[in-house]
Amino acid sequence: MRIMKTRQLGKSGLEVSTIGLGCMGMSFGYGPAHDKQEMIALMRAAVERGVTFFDTAEVYGPFVNEELVGEGLAPFRGQVAIATKFGFKLDPETGKQAGLDSRPSHIREVVESSLKRLRVDAIDLLYQHRVDPEVPIEDVAGTVKDLIEEGKVKYFGLSEAGVRTIRRAHAVQPVTALQSEYSLWWREPEAEILPVLEELGIGFVPFSPLGRGFLTGKIDENTSFDSTDMRNTVPRFAAEARAANRVVVELLAGIAASKGATPAQVALAWLLAQKSWIVPIPGTTKLHRLEENLGSTSVGLTAEDLAAINEAASQITIQGARYSEAAQRQIDR
């Protein structure tokens, strides 16, 4: 296993590789599922390169992504941290999402099933995937606290939670990490979320740190997506929005050229430079992209570079919402 720098997620004691691997796209979200053996090989290649933090969820598929991660990482039990999530109601007939469900009894059912699929005795990091307005967050945190005491879960996380929810949950069971979208084209967490995480000693795990692929520079207004790709429903990926938002990629490309890096590497290096307790989880299905992403840890951005990026980015207005209206309604604010 190659030595890679590590980071602590807040003050919890959970130490993971500086860059994690988001596994969702291997099975779900961005078109048809990829070849199982190829994805297992990719996860194992990530471990060989020092990645120790892998992200999945029961809803990815549903279920098949957890099974894939469980099989892929089985030889490395105890050497890697696997994060998964609960919080959606799934239609028993179709397996599709049918709203939110964080009732304590449901959390327990999900955990028992996830443990089997992941082939582990304890879930390293268990996130509430979306805040359920029908269930007090104290009940959710209390249930996870019990699961930690029972040895079935090690650490508790929240996803896309707002400041009040984070504080209330943390008062019952310390929150190890918040997972939410954060990148140069979605900077909302900077206003309220990051200061609260710093105050409480909670780590931050940005998903879509490359803007669902857009910040790599490989997507433009002429790119077409598979019919099952979620980006078809995202206003930010409408053709006219993509054309307008290319200016962000051009900003990254300019910095990248001066560093001998790629736009994706600069986007990740910028995130890593924000706080020492931020651990992005870019997803990929290709080995050369995995290596490119991991290479971001060697891109040195100076204080002057960061100031220049922030100054240029402040002049840019990103076009389009980051979620469809239906998905946006499930975000806790």
- Which residue numbers are catalytic? 60
Q: Which residues contact 299 (CB under 8 A, 6 or more apart)?
A: 259, 261, 265, 266, 268, 269
Tokens representing 48 are 């060989």
User: What is the DSSP pairing of strand 88-90 with strand 81-86?
Assistant: unpaired
Separation between Cα atoms, residue 201 and residue 293, nearest integer Å: 26
Task: Report whether 23 contacts 55 (CB < 8 A).
Answer: yes
Q: Which residues contact 120 (CB under 8 A, 6 or more apart)?
A: 70, 77, 82
Q: How far is CA 30 from CA 185, 288, 297, 317, 319, in A?
A: 19, 18, 26, 26, 21
Write the DSSP symbol of residue 266: H
Separation between Cα atoms, residue 170 and residue 138, nearest integer Å: 9
